[in-house]
Amino acid sequence: MPGFDARGPSGLGPKTGRGLGPCGSGMGYGRGFGRGLGMGRGYGYRRFYTSKEESEALKDEAEVLEQELKEIKSRLSQLKGKK
């Protein structure tokens, strides 16, 4: 309920959303059981990547991890210097 005016998230009236606002006590309700429509069993849409797409994604991930490792090592050296 964006405007807190009892019209619901799409202006369709109370109890028409997911129950996350004051009308639903902030608890949420409806389908999904908190784990999505597949209920955590892997029934969702699966996209199969080409070798090139997977390779590019892995390279990007490796760059992110390398940057994080640099930051961790930098922080460790700062902490070591403070002792």
Q: What is the pLDDT of residues 23-58, one digit of tens each?
A: 655 555 454 445 555 555 555 566 788 999 999 999
**Closest C-alpha among 6, 22, 24 to residue 14:** 6
pLDDT tier at 79, thresholds 50, 70, 90? very high
pLDDT above 70: percentage of residues in the chain: 43
- What's the rounded Cα separation, in Å, for the pair 1 and 28? 13
**Residue 20 DSSP class:** -
Q: What is the pLDDT of residue 61?
A: 96
Residue 17's CB: how many other CB atoms inside 10 A?
19
Q: Which has the minimum average pLDDT: 28-32, 54-58, 64-68, 73-77?
A: 28-32
Q: What is the pLDDT of residue 59?
A: 96
Q: Which residue has the higher pLDDT, 80 or 13?
A: 80
Mean pLDDT of the chain: 74
